A and B are shown apart, each in its own frame.
Chain A
Amino acid sequence: MKQELKSTKFGKYGGQFVPEVLMPALEELTEQYEKYKDDPVFNKELEHYLRDFAGRPSPLYHAKRLSREYGIKIYLKREDLVHGGAHKLNNTLGQALLTRYMGKKRIIAETGAGQHGTACAMAGAAFGIKTEIYMGAKDTVRQRMNVYRMELMGAKVIPVKSGSQTLKDAINEAMRAWVSSVETTHYMIGSVVGPHPYPVMVRDFQSVIGKEVREQIMEKEGIFPDSIVACTGGGSNAMGIFYPFIEDDVDLFAVEAGGSGMKVTDKEALHSATLCAGEEGVLHGMHTKVLQNKYGQILESSSIAAGLDYAGVGPELAYLADIGRIKPRNSMDSEALGAFHDLCRFEGIIPALESSHALAYVKKAAATGELGDVVVINISGRGDKDLETVLGMGK
């Protein structure tokens, strides 16, 4: 089931659906990634940054009070404690290092919630590489503190005013910017999406999460968990924690954003649950599941969590869902909000609204027995960035 880099596909999903002008860059990136991914010098340097800069390994925490409340033994993988407050830095450190090894002088990236953009800005500053971040104009308003954080670290934030002014438009614009600067610039995609080799590369850089969980849970429980639950937008924190367990007897739950309901119109979806309700299509360089209308026009997705608000999903997740290896689920905005408050009150941890979707699903499903007795939840980020949103929603 593990995917070799040689193939650009996961079953029928994946591939490279990009303008010709980008193809040589993808070929180069594939070649360079292949060259360095097992290189001891590259990996030693990456490990150094992950440990001393990012603060890894992140703890695996037994959340006793929440366990009692939800009626299932819960471990939290504390990616919220990684430098920057989310798992995103795992990937950007890897890609920034690769940028340096490739000799490229500039990084461009897209960001939704601003978590990936922030992680890019951090890596860009740490490595001394010029960094430009494309962000939907709507998101720059929703997440203005993240914009400020990026700017503080020297990154330039470019608001994208086309289309729905959210993540999907930021990706479109970043791809366009890459087209005109491909020889000197690395495009740092922030999730397990886009054309090959991104879904493989980002998954590999994020797999540090799952690798740590394997050791930590054996230390604490002496056995693997029955299930692992992670929120899923593009799917990088999910693939990062799932992938090292892919061949083990552990149930993997990908929890998508159910938004305000599982309904769609001709132009928009009230949710972002691509694995649950999407159809096969091609978007942002990949064949995957997408939210689209009957003609193939991409729908505007919706979620309380900007980081899950995306009409596509990583192609490997689409593949794993089709073959039944992962279980796609969803939590609605209101359920995520409830779980957000639970974790604040019972554990003294303020989770990101994205991660709150995973918590909310555990709250719902614990009683059904579907999750078994021991569950690991990936707390992919901290919720400081969401306080204004939560304040606006009331309790």
Chain B
Amino acid sequence: MKIADKFNDLKKKKEGALIAYICAGDPTPEATKEYVTALVRGGVDVIELGLPFSDPVADGPTIQAGIERALNGGMTPDIYFKTVGSLRLHIPLVVMTYYNLIFKRGLEKFVKDCVASGISGIIVPDLPVEEVGELAGFCNQYDIDLIFLVAPTTTESRMKRILAEGRGFIYLVARLGVTGARSDIANSTRELIKRVKTTTPKAVGFGISNGRQAAEIIGAGADGVIVGSAFVDIIAGGKDAAGKLEALARELKEGVRDARG
């Protein structure tokens, strides 16, 4: 499914989008299928499935630990695409990974493998707009969305360039810092939502862990929320992870469902 179609559907229903991140292969490739299914049951609108890299500089301790579990569990790009290909989702799935894994596989092959396994978008946290040319070319050629991040530190001139290049949705980094659940929503997040002027949907990530925060973000003008560490924490806990993932997804989705002004 195209990301734009999903956001259009939600817009008609006046719902905010819930985007859920987990790391593929955490703790085993088999578990990922079960967890993704649980998240979908809980009402998630887009799955962001991490492809684990050995040196994840943009991730905080929680997701780093998930990535380490996944790598120890034997996850590789080959297994990743096989796993994703077998999921048969009716919602969009985007891959989040670091540039070296894409570079090493070959940019075109990576994009083709994404398309073949039903992936709708690609997020590369260590690939700023300056370096994106070649990958963006293949994404256009094979009609897959290359999703960009903007941060509170992003200058106006960079913002323009990113909004012009961004497809699918714009990923707003809620606070300075790396991924990890925090307790409240900062003013800088509200300001950033206002600063991002675009018709492309805006999704806010980094630090969201409950329904109340999610509702606040949508209320502040975002089209979606991205939740990662809170889900990865559940997986780290192990016991009845699928049930708890579904329950948290349901709570978050309740939060974003009616929050749109």
Contacts and interface: CB of A to CB of B under 8 A. Distances in A.
B60 A176 contact: yes
B57 A172 contact: yes
Contacts of B55: 163, 168, 172, 283-284, 298
A343 interface: no
Contact of B105 (A27, A290, A296): A296
B100 to A, nearest CB: 4
A108 B80 CA distance: 36
Interface in A146-185: 162-163, 168, 172, 175-176, 179-183
A281 interface: yes
A20 B60 contact: no
Interface in B113-155: 125-128, 130-131, 148-155
A217 interface: no
Given A21-B151, A179-B58, A282-B126, A292 B104 contact: yes
Contacts of A349: none
Interface stretch (A10-18, A112-120, A208-216, A372-380): A10-18
Interface residues of A, number: 37
B171 to A, nearest CB: 9
Contacts of A183: 153, 176
B153 A296 contact: no
A295 B54 CA distance: 10
A20 B101 contact: no
Contacts of B148: 20
Contacts of A285: 126
Interface in A291-305: 292, 294-298
A290 B58 CA distance: 19
Interface residues of B, number: 42
A250 interface: no
B154 A24 contact: yes
A268 to B, nearest CB: 11
Contacts of A125: none
A19 interface: yes
Interface in B51-79: 53-58, 60-61, 64, 68, 71, 76-78
Given A16-B128, A16-B131, A24 B54 contact: no
A172 B98 CA distance: 13
A264 interface: no
A390 interface: no
Contact of B71 (A15, A16, A297): A297
Contacts of B78: 295
B176 A17 contact: no
Contacts of B60: 176
Contact of B100 (A25, A168, A175, A298): A298
Contacts of B98: 282
Given A176-B57, A181-B176, A282-B126, A296 B150 contact: no
A17 B64 contact: no
A262 interface: no
A179 B127 contact: no
A239 B53 CA distance: 30
A183 B125 CA distance: 20
7 contacts: A20-B151, A21-B151, A24-B155, A162-B68, A175-B57, A285-B126, A296-B102
Interface of A: 8, 15-25, 27, 162-163, 168, 172, 175-176, 179-183, 280-285, 290, 292, 294-298
